[in-house]
Amino acid sequence: MTELPYHEQRDRKNEAKLQELLSALPLFCADFFRGIEPSTSSMTRLSYAYDIGMFFDFLTSRHATGSPSICTEAKPEIRSFGLSAKDFTMKQFRQISVTDLERYLEYLKYRPDDPDHRNTNKEQGIKRKFFSLKSFFGYFQRTGQITVNPTLSMQVPKIREKEIVRLNQKEIKELLKEAESGAGLSPRQKQFHQKTKVRDCALLALMLGTGIRVSECVGLNLSDVDIKEQGIHIHRKGGKEATVYFSDEVAQYLERYLEERRTLCPIERGTGTQDEPALFLSLRKKRLTVRSVEYLVKKYASQVTTTKKITPHKLRSTYGTTLYQETGDIYLVADVLGHKDVNTTKKHYAAMDDARRRQAATAVRLRESMPEHEE
């Protein structure tokens, strides 16, 4: 039996988890997820389910006490008897007010049930949860099941602008050098490094040289790589497919790894296939996971810089900002990175380097020449 492609396996797991979460949510929530299914990915729907589940847990917990708007005549006991989220009715849902939502966002900043702040949400997390609710309420307003959408009367949580974290050219060179040598690794890490260094270099070079997402990287199969055309076939967010091209330098790293890869999992005689179709394999000869790649990047990047927290997504940021600086074409960057909205590209990847900022200091002249100083 032919194994399902990675992205289909991932979608099936996400859908199974979504159904599990839905079983603990109010019955009307299923309408929302059914309605957004054609236009969203399985990962997006799963994230919505977690966020919406947390909201209903809050409403039916003691932490929401003091918000009388949901204590309707139909179920005034929802506070005092702590009914579960599943018991929440559409009639009660219509009673949710701006105040209820504001109290929820306040709760996310500092959760009384989490004194160690392990689950306290930061600005980005709070904003994401707010937009999940905005989409949720928006669906029921569009379908006529509620007449008032309280999220429309709220201010969007603000996020302080942060400097884009990325590697500079020197750090990129040092990262690949570290992956090749393993000089800064611990004795235990060095034991495994000899077995993985060719793979690790190829993976890092591919991510740095194409800007693909970590999920797209681990989802690659051998059949997705065309060395001759120097391209890879990837599955984007939302189910879209695309071909991304790479440089001669990246091709060299990949060719070296593919040669080693053939010895690890030789092609079966008579079938022309391999047991594991994945491009990047673990030491157990199984497809690398997202978490494994996150650890891999952290392991090498920590030897290169101690002031930057480098993740796989920061490698994507590095590629995006470098490509923009080299070409000045924001639309090209958006297309290569797979962004639907070019404004996303402008916000996250069109970073201005320090050299250009210094140019700005001398670009505008106040006078033709400075007057001589009189003593």
* Residue 38 domain flag: yes
Tokens, residue 87: 């018991």
Q: Are 118 and 210 found together in one domain?
A: no
State the pLDDT at residue 365: 58
Give residue 112's identity as a one-letter amino acid code: P
Residues 193 and 112 in one domain: no
Structural domain harbouring 254? 169-357
Rounded distance, CA 346 to CA 237, Å? 19
Which ranges in the chain belong to alpha helices (H)?
6-22, 29-36, 42-59, 90-93, 98-109, 123-142, 169-181, 187-210, 214-218, 248-264, 290-301, 312-327, 330-337, 342-348, 354-363
Give the residue from 153, 187, 220 where a domain finishes: 153
Task: Pick the last residue of a domain from 104, 126, 153.
Answer: 153
Cβ atoms within 10 Å, residue 13: 12
- Residue 328: predicted pLDDT: 87
In a domain, 1, yes or no: no
Residues 104, 247, single domain; the answer is no
Whether 148 is in a domain gets the answer yes
pLDDT at position 69 is 45
Q: What is the pLDDT of residues 206-246, one digit of tens each?
A: 999 999 999 999 999 999 999 999 999 998 877 789 999 99
Please report the pLDDT score of residue 71 as a whole number. Answer: 42
Q: Which of 126, 153, 180 is the last residue of a domain?
A: 153
Judge if 232 and 147 occupy the same domain.
no
What is the pLDDT, as a whole number, of residue 371? Answer: 60
Which of helix, strand or coil describes residue 226? Answer: strand
What pLDDT score does 56 carry? Answer: 94
> What pLDDT digit, counting tens, does each position of 47-62 carry?
999 999 999 999 887 5
79 three-class SS: coil
Q: What pLDDT, on the 0 to 100 scale, is given for residue 250?
A: 96
How confident is the model at residue 92, as a pLDDT? 92
> Do residues 60 and 78 make contact, with C-beta atoms less than 8 angstroms apart?
yes
At residue 72, the pLDDT reads 40
Q: Are residues 143 and 173 in the same domain?
A: no
- Domain check: are 40 and 182 in the same one? no
pLDDT at residue number 77: 41
- 131 and 188, same structural domain? no
29 in a structural domain: yes
Q: State the total domains in the chain.
A: 2
Which of 206, 207, 201 has the alpha carbon at shortest distance from 256?
A: 201
Return d(Cα 262, Cα 274) in angstroms, integer.
9
Structure tokens at 124: 């980005």
Beta bridge partners of 208: none
Does residue 94 sit in the same domain as residue 199?
Answer: no
Residues of the chain with pLDDT under 70: 1-2, 62-83, 111-120, 159, 161, 266-274, 349-375
- 188 and 133 both lie in a single domain: no
Task: Indicate whether 203 and 320 sit together in one domain.
Answer: yes
- Position 309 scores a pLDDT of 93
Q: What is the CATH number of the domain that holds 315?
A: 1.10.443.10
Residue 38 and residue 179 share a domain: no
Q: Mark whether 121 and 176 lie in a shared domain.
A: no
Cα distance between residue 39 and residue 239, in whole Å = 10
